[in-house]
Structure 1
Amino acid sequence: MKSRYYVVLGLFFTCLLASNAQNKTEKPKEFKVAFEEFTLENGLHVILHTDKSDPVVAVALTCHVGSAREKAGRTGFAHLFEHLLFLESENLGKGGLDKMSAKIGGSGANGSTSRDRTNYFQTVPKDALEKMIWAEADKLGYFINTVTEPVLAKEKQVVKNEKRQSYDNRPYGHNMEIIDANLYPPTHPYNWTVIGSLDDLQNATLQDVKDFYNRWYVPNNVTLTIAGDFDTKQTKEWVKKYFSEIKRGEAIPVMQKQAVTLTATKKLYYEDNFARLPLLTLVWPTVYQYHPDSYALEVLATYLTKGKKAPLYKTLVEDKKLTDAVTLEQYNSEIAGQYILSVTAFDKTNLNTVQNGIDEALKNFEKEGISTEDLNRIKAKQETDFYTNLSSVLGKGFQLAQYEIFAGTPDFINQDVKNILAVTPQDVMRVYQKYIQGKPFVATSFVPKGQTNLVLNESVLAPIVEEKIIEGKEETFDASIAATYTKTPSSFDRTKEPNYGESPDLQLPTVWKSTLTSGLSVLGIENHEVPLVQFQLELKGGMLLEQKNKIGVANLLASLLTKGTRNKTPQQLENAIENLGATIEANATDESIVVSGTTLSKNYTVTLQLVQEILLEPRWDTTEFDLIKQSTLSQITQQKASPNSIARNEFKKLIFGSDCILANNRMGTESSLKVITLDDLKNFYTQNLSPTVATFQVVGAVSKATVTQSLTALNKKWKPTKVTFPELKIADAPTTATLYFYDVPGAKQSVIQIGYPALAATDVDFYPATIMNYRLGGGGFASQLTQELRESKGYTYGIRSGFDGSTTKGAFLISSGVRSNVTYESVRLIKEILENYGKNFDANDLEITKSFLIKSNARAFETLDAKLGMLHEISNYNYADDYIKSQENTVKNSTVAAIKALSNTYLNPNKMIYLVVGDAQTQLQKLEEIGFGKPILLNTLEEDSKK
């Protein structure tokens, strides 16, 4: 083991906000990320970062291999391999990592694949660190013998389901496939997508998998990152013990930079089965990650599209009203990069008009450039984003590994910061001229079926092969067959799972509370791990207080609140927020309006002054109101094309019933938006936004005294009003099961939702029912639904179940997307699992449930988001400050008999609503065999109601 060095990183950011008057006298503050790194003799590189603020540890294994290391005709291997590595290893056994994750209270073993790296990660209570090191070593060095033909066949189906769900069965899902194939030449390793093609996945052989493992999954191509509360000396000994025997592989070649140049613009189009609106995407080749020009390009992307002053926003959204948003993002990878500009236009908009608007906006930018003030505003937000990325131990670990792999050292964090700070207005214009102005690009036009008249002139049809839905097409397999092999030798018994370390004490954050004279309730948690503050002001009501013929008022009001104030134009308000490096957003839920934000702690008070101004001095800008209405109409149109959105909206109607306001889509409908006026928003604001129904929740590096002082003016000026909540009429749970179907012709997957109106979060049985549900569908890979439908059958990429109540009764819901040609089989299997769940629940199930729910409490409140969620539950459901201890006692006192009784009460499959959204031509008729009668086709009911 060769130890290299120990370094402390000092990050100085105060110059980012040098333009802010309130910061001119502040002394620079230092934020430190300490790390130690060393390399084992076999080449494994290890980075350690200690953070004892919470009793948790994040472990991440990052392998320097992604889709760029694949070969044409064998695409998707890196991602397929990511899946395989979770399934089994010699000493953990089949499903061993997932079983262990549940037992130790981990966040759930997970991973991700990019063009250039694959990582595996999990956050666990600190007493399980040796177990995780043991498990990660077993995955890396003692895995490949366990992969069999049936296991490979099953996991192919899981990955193919992921592709259908994320690409083939959603609007614009094929866009990046077309872009990559045309931006990069066939010989370039970025020519194909990370997910790969269905044919390539199907053609992968067991030998292909073994060859891939032996070449790339070797210690000298892997970085192990451990971050959190641990003893450094002991951890080094564990790493050496479990990893040092794994043999070094062949030398790994350095990926050479491979920039691409387009000699001419390429224009392609595609008629999208799921799209309802036209989408134009322009892509320019740019630079690799951490290239000196990437920093100015990042600023350029932000300046061109984000905010009222942004040239593309101003021209396309405000002036020409062609769209409700423009996005421009830098997608930089290890050896090359690309700049992606996307515009989803309004219904029936010709994309040539959009292209003309883009050209006009860019010409305006060429004349005006970017000011130093605007540059500093963007840098201020970059500071906040940086700290946010470091607000968890896993985030810190990820960042250190990222620098190590793609910049050569974790210490590059210092240079990265300097590069951010060094960007000048001249740099921004220089990179624009170098990479964008007058340069060839790839343009894709995605349009709804039958609307090719909207595509860019001179576009050619993109060659995309659509998968056909064929019953019985997929091969069968038995993934339970055990592999036979000779075990890899070791100097000690690796089958013995390490013992737990010292058990971490449950550390509950200290909650402070107060009620102001206006009636505003305030809850806070002070925490100084990072110099950030997060807050949310919850105003009860939302859609609950709307009129049925004008659904959407609360949602429109929330959107309008941040579009200027009485004394600030929308642009002036936006600039005031961004100059602080803050974010302030307002959103509506079914039952509330929430004003939330994140800010640097030093700017908290000034940020809250802006919140007060937003809340008490609305601008009621008619231009912004019209833009928001058009944007909402556009979103509603897009939802009609998304099977997942269709399922969500239709299921609400079935669960809550036509007499309940909660059955509606809170964005409203085309008809309701047409009749809503600005006066409707003003009336809703006057009648329903009151401190008497509001709660302010705040967490982070700010004291109670500072928070109280920041709310003084708001408390004085915000006049309370009486808010009356109408009685809710939620439909009764069904006494018999009914199966509904919504037809999406040509759907590659069926979206399944099963459930009924069940419990409120305040019901005495709500948490016990949540405990009962853990092994059914709430425990990820520890749940029976996942094990049966994904791990055993390969029907789905994911499935879950849960109780979703609030202060009102919510749904019990099972949801999944399954491959279309096993729709009937999936519904039948879910029904069987529900029928047998209570009967088969045993002491082992209870032990796993208890172990996870109790041990996972160690990491329950690590992040600011988690702490804010805690305050939400305390304030909304009247939970005690230490409610987690009460819940822990409920878990400890749970019995098999009690779980069986809860299952009998709340999991009767013959008294549930079944909804399938999919291809009726191939799937509808067979579903009658489930035994719930002929499925009711909802599309037909919709059409009949319109006649």
Structure 2
Amino acid sequence: MFRPSRVTLFTSLFLSLLVLAACSQQPKDRVVLPEGIHFVEAVSATVDNNGDPVLPYEKYQLENGLTLLLHQDHSDPITHVDVTYHVGSAREQLGKSGFAHFFEHMMFQGSKHVADEQHFRIISEAGGTLNGTTNSDRTNYYQTVPANQLEKVLWLESDRMGFLLEAVTQEKFEVQRATVKNERAQRYDNAPYGLLYERVSQALYPENHPYSWPTIGYVEDLDRVNVNDLKAFFLRWYGPNNATLTIGGDIDVEQTLAWVAKYFGPIAAGPDVDGDAKTLVTLPDTRYISMEDRVHLPLLYISFPTVYGRHEDEAALDLLADVLGGGKQSLFYQHLVKAGYAVQAGVSHPCQELACSFNLYALANPEKMPSLADMEKALRAAIDDFEQRGVTQDDLDKVQAQFEASTIFGLQSVSGKVSTLAFNETFADSPDQIADDLARYRAVTKADVERVYRTYIKDKPAVVMSIVPQGQLALIAAPDNFKPAARQIPQAEEMTAAQLALRPVTETFDRNKVPEAGPSPVVHVPDAWRATLDNGIPVIGSEIDETPTVTLLLSIEGGPLLDPEGKAGTASLTAAMLNEATQQRSGEAMALALDKLGSRISARASGRYTEIAVSSLARHLDETLLLLQEILLQPKFDAADFERLKAQTLQSLVQSAKDPGALASRAQLQVLYGEQRIGLPDGGIFSSVQGISLQDVQQFYLQNYSAKAAQLVVVGSLSKAQWLPKLDWLGQWAGESLSFADYQDFPQYDKSTIYVVDLPEAAQSAIRVVRRAMPYDATGDYFKAGLMNFPLGGAFNSRINMNLREEKGYTYGARSGFSGGKTLGRFSVSTSVREDVTGLALTEILNELAIYSEQGIDAGELAFLRQAVSQSEALSYETPSQKAGFLRQMLNYQLDPSFAQTQGEIVATIDKPALNALAAKWLQPDTMQIVIVGDAAKVLPQLLSLGLPIETITMQP
């Protein structure tokens, strides 16, 4: 479906909390419109004439063409600002790919009145978060900040809309060109299957179609262009008349309008922007393409061209994708995954503004399906089986229930509401499309789904992509019969003065002055109630009424720490089995029951806990709790489920040995903790998982799933009095107390050593600089060390990231931080860098640690962290999941709610000597161990000059 997320419906319960009216109206009489802003429409809360939900907003237009959307939400003292430009990679010219994404980077590099790198610093110091995203059709920039910082955000966003190019220099251009190339290397060239979509798009779309090149661009295009090309692209597409400014949250409408008029009103419009034509993409015949990659599992990917965003057949195609590959009831799951032929398989129908595609994929299990030619036959057999199975009423009910639930959960944050309004305005010229989307999905019939199958899928040409392990081209589905035509890049033309002329801006105020923040908002930690069930399980809960939803977290202490000797991964497999069959239902029947409620129950084991997470609409809580009771207390532990999950786990472990990040994390654990349980990943390693039996899993459940080790967090629109009767069954759960074995001795180091894991032909090197550190505490040295690290590697504009990314251009990003649990902790620096600068990057990291440990924090950094950390509290408790995480932390560490206040006092009073003492204690370079995953033949010569011992280690899957 063509939308930012699967967001379509409210529940009737939610609607009952809102005013049962929806209308277009004039703005409130008290609102005086500033000069240059015109009212367009306002929709008040909440439902239309058919009883369908409406997301309230006010819409305005500035004389320069800027569209303004406002949404009030006073539930939390925060605001979210989104600027969406209707420009993505589809607006680029042949030979100049990647410009839209390039500008996502350049827009954070300062503007005429905002110094280099100050956008990140100002938002961080304000306690906010920020980012930008680019796709084929739009680029958006967004910030969430405490409500008192709104004017500052509008000043920043307007300055880069109206005054970016005055600050664009050749030096900034080169730094960001290197950063984009690093991002491409990390996310595409150095990632398993990373080139899949790029290669498929080249074959799926006609030559020179705007979707035929990747959003991130080609390296040769990035190398070809110059700073004037970039400036001309900005002047063409980044005018206010091609943008939508959406502001939501705890706002005063009249004041917000005045600020928008002040900061955005004087910016001149850019050239007119017309919509691109929407025409259906077709293929003359099926195109087979293939590639070798650093992977273990062969991948088959089939892509059919279909329609375009909001086409009348889009909804039916979405439902067809769900029937074929959406969950355990789907044909792909039954034919491929459950049968053991595929480790994963699925179907999707993503839509873009100009085109959609119907995509099928399967990661083959080499033990049962080594040939992708056979896999293609199996995929096509599953598709053909749709003609016999057809569409059931359960299919329709399930999809509508999922849409309903995802809508409500998507609206739990102000950012979710704002992004929905901005997206719909950009692509549908109407901010609220919830009711329309519901109506078009509700109107889909079984006959519609069968019709679109015959129209777009049955016997239709497609792109068939095979990705196989290196040296195994014999496994591909069929010989390649398609090769993209060589790109005919037009001769570059010199930019004229007119093309580079800046648009004039006439203002009557001093833009060099950063707006002052308003009074700091009053932030309250979530109100919590406590109870103890009959069997001793502690319960902590919080009642919120913003949405009629429920979040429940049941944690059982132990998890992977209780794995039997030599059988690491038992806890993870046991938790995975809880997601399968119960004694009353098959895994498919349980999945269907949950889907029809719009609920989710998932179990996983990680760190020190096994956790079962539940999300539900409040009106379906009783039914969902009955399913939770079944899952927790009556698992079936079916032998066929176990063998399938074990086989999938083993194949995934082998695959992870091809991933540099996974290898670095694995090697880091081994270096810190040795060959004992905590030195291995939560899911185990190949040899340990291979030795796990179904009996081991059953025994683990009987011994370690115990009420004596459990605790419960509940957040939602129910009171304590409503909750406790619903939890009576959980209070009857029994179990024994658990004990934890002592850790074995950890490896001891008297000096730093570099441990190299060889990954031949890796485009980047993954670097980890690590040491053991203190366990978690809420108000002691662990918390204070986190503050100390903030200017070093905890913020975007930290020393390490600014050095490696912004100054040197070595990486897409670098960070450092402390992490800790009840008994252990560690400090780490992590990054991925270009292979050719591995040694230089490591030298810079060690130098930064040396300088910081010796000289400590400076006065400016101390002021920055005080402001940033204290202001960010406003963003800490917005969503139910954030509230649940806060309450879980209180239970895990037996904290009083006042710990948050104590933390605030520490932030306000901690001084340089205290922070510098922590830096001197924990950050000395010679106390660190170094892990590097990369091409050893190219990396090792670079490391010799550091004068440190070097060992090459081999990581088994």
TM norm. shorter chain > 0.5: yes
Indicate yes or no: 2:373 matched with 1:333. no
Aligned partners of 2:800 and 2:815 also within 8 Å: yes
Provide Cα deviations, 1:616-635, integer angstroms capped at 9, x if missing partner: 11111111111100110111
SS in 1 for 2:809: coil
Structure 1 pair 463–551 and aligned structure 2 pair: CA distance change class (3 A): farther
**Equivalent residue runs for 1:441-590 within 5 Å:** 441-460=462-481, 490-590=507-607
SS in 1 for 2:251: coil
SS in 2 for 1:97: helix
- Counterpart-to-counterpart distance in 2, 1:665 and 1:725: 18
Structure 1 pair 290–907 and aligned structure 2 pair: CA distance change class (3 A): same
Aligned partners of 1:10 and 1:414 also within 8 Å: no
Alpha-carbon distance, 1:732 to partner: 5.9
Aligned partners of 2:109 and 2:119 also within 8 Å: yes
Alpha-carbon distance, 1:685 to partner: 0.7
The amino acid of 2:332's aligned partner reads: L
- Counterpart-to-counterpart distance in 2, 1:11 and 1:290: 22
Alpha-carbon distance, 1:806 to partner: 0.8
Alpha-carbon distance, 1:491 to partner: 2.1
The residue that corresponds to 1:318 in the other structure is 338
Aligned with 1:420 (options 432, 441, 446): 441
Alpha-carbon distance, 1:131 to partner: 0.5
**Equivalent residue runs for 1:611-630 within 5 Å:** 611-630=628-647
The residue that corresponds to 2:219 in the other structure is 198
The residue that corresponds to 2:72 in the other structure is 50
The amino acid of 1:347's aligned partner reads: P
SS in 2 for 1:534: strand
Indicate yes or no: 2:808 matched with 1:808. no
SS in 2 for 1:549: coil
Aligned with 1:72 (options 88, 94, 101): 94
Instruction: Give RMSD over aligned pairs.
Output: 1.9
The residue that corresponds to 1:472 in the other structure is none
- Counterpart-to-counterpart distance in 2, 1:375 and 1:387: 19
- Counterpart-to-counterpart distance in 2, 1:656 and 1:912: 14
Gaps spanning 5+ residues in structure 1: where? 16-27, 466-484
Alpha-carbon distance, 1:800 to partner: 1.0
- Counterpart-to-counterpart distance in 1, 2:689 and 2:558: 19
- Counterpart-to-counterpart distance in 2, 1:751 and 1:920: 12
- Counterpart-to-counterpart distance in 2, 1:155 and 1:168: 18
Indicate yes or no: 2:290 matched with 1:269. yes
The residue that corresponds to 1:753 in the other structure is 768
The residue that corresponds to 1:286 in the other structure is 306
Aligned partners of 1:519 and 1:720 also within 8 Å: no
Aligned with 1:359 (options 347, 366, 380): 380
The amino acid of 1:684's aligned partner reads: F
Indicate yes or no: 2:154 matched with 1:133. yes
Alpha-carbon distance, 1:136 to partner: 0.5
**Equivalent residue runs for 1:875-914 within 5 Å:** 875-914=891-930
The residue that corresponds to 1:382 in the other structure is 403
Indicate yes or no: 2:353 matched with 1:342. no
Provide Cα deviations, 1:711-761, integer angstroms capped at 9, x if missing partner: 101212x11212111112362663311111111111110000111111111
Aligned partners of 1:225 and 1:401 also within 8 Å: yes
Structure 1 pair 257–303 and aligned structure 2 pair: CA distance change class (3 A): same
The residue that corresponds to 1:661 in the other structure is 677
Alpha-carbon distance, 1:392 to partner: 0.8
Provide Cα deviations, 1:593-633, integer angstroms capped at 9, x if missing partner: 11112111111122111111111111111111111001101
Gaps spanning 5+ residues in structure 2: where? 1-36, 487-501
The residue that corresponds to 2:320 in the other structure is 300
Alpha-carbon distance, 1:390 to partner: 1.4
TM-score, normalising length from structure 1? 0.93
- Counterpart-to-counterpart distance in 2, 1:673 and 1:715: 34
The residue that corresponds to 1:841 in the other structure is 857
Aligned partners of 1:732 and 1:757 also within 8 Å: no
Aligned partners of 1:269 and 1:461 also within 8 Å: no
Structure 1 stretch 75-84 or stretch 673-682: which is displaced more?
673-682
The residue that corresponds to 2:689 in the other structure is 673
Provide Cα deviations, 1:691-722, integer angstroms capped at 9, x if missing partner: 11111112122222222112101212x11212
Aligned partners of 2:528 and 2:540 also within 8 Å: yes
The residue that corresponds to 1:105 in the other structure is 127
Aligned with 2:937 (options 916, 921, 930): 921
The amino acid of 2:737's aligned partner reads: K
Alpha-carbon distance, 1:309 to partner: 2.3
Indicate yes or no: 2:107 matched with 1:85. yes
The residue that corresponds to 2:889 in the other structure is 873
The residue that corresponds to 1:245 in the other structure is 266
The residue that corresponds to 1:21 in the other structure is none
Aligned partners of 2:64 and 2:240 also within 8 Å: yes
Aligned partners of 2:53 and 2:434 also within 8 Å: no
Structure 1 pair 410–213 and aligned structure 2 pair: CA distance change class (3 A): same
- Counterpart-to-counterpart distance in 2, 1:682 and 1:757: 34
SS in 1 for 2:56: strand
- Counterpart-to-counterpart distance in 1, 2:87 and 2:644: 45
Q: Number of residue pairs matched?
A: 902
The amino acid of 2:181's aligned partner reads: K
Indicate yes or no: 2:875 matched with 1:854. no
- Counterpart-to-counterpart distance in 2, 1:421 and 1:508: 40
Provide Cα deviations, 1:822-866, integer angstroms capped at 9, x if missing partner: 101100000000011140521111000000000000111111221
Structure 1 stretch 766-775 or stretch 372-381: which is displaced more?
372-381
Aligned partners of 1:184 and 1:190 also within 8 Å: yes
Aligned with 1:391 (options 404, 412, 415): 412
Aligned partners of 2:467 and 2:476 also within 8 Å: yes
Alpha-carbon distance, 1:414 to partner: 2.4
Aligned partners of 1:518 and 1:720 also within 8 Å: no
Structure 1 stretch 787-796 or stretch 723-732: which is displaced more?
723-732
- Counterpart-to-counterpart distance in 2, 1:49 and 1:551: 50
The amino acid of 1:581's aligned partner reads: G
The residue that corresponds to 2:719 in the other structure is 703
Alpha-carbon distance, 1:657 to partner: 1.7
- Counterpart-to-counterpart distance in 1, 2:247 and 2:924: 44
Aligned partners of 1:734 and 1:756 also within 8 Å: no
Indicate yes or no: 2:245 matched with 1:229. no
Alpha-carbon distance, 1:528 to partner: 1.6
- Counterpart-to-counterpart distance in 1, 2:255 and 2:301: 52
- Counterpart-to-counterpart distance in 1, 2:477 and 2:546: 51
The amino acid of 2:42's aligned partner reads: Y
Structure 1 stretch 813-822 or stretch 288-297: which is displaced more?
288-297
- Counterpart-to-counterpart distance in 1, 2:220 and 2:505: 33
Aligned partners of 2:344 and 2:362 also within 8 Å: yes
Aligned partners of 2:267 and 2:504 also within 8 Å: no
- Counterpart-to-counterpart distance in 1, 2:627 and 2:111: 55
The amino acid of 1:294's aligned partner reads: E
- Counterpart-to-counterpart distance in 2, 1:293 and 1:258: 14
Aligned with 1:403 (options 402, 419, 424): 424
- Counterpart-to-counterpart distance in 2, 1:612 and 1:486: 64
Structure 1 pair 508–31 and aligned structure 2 pair: CA distance change class (3 A): farther
Provide Cα deviations, 1:853-900, integer angstroms capped at 9, x if missing partner: 000001111112211210121111222223221111111111011111
SS in 2 for 1:325: strand
Aligned partners of 1:692 and 1:722 also within 8 Å: yes
Provide Cα deviations, 1:448-478, integer angstroms capped at 9, x if missing partner: 011111101233586799xxxxxxxxxxxxx
SS in 1 for 2:793: helix
Structure 1 pair 462–919 and aligned structure 2 pair: CA distance change class (3 A): farther
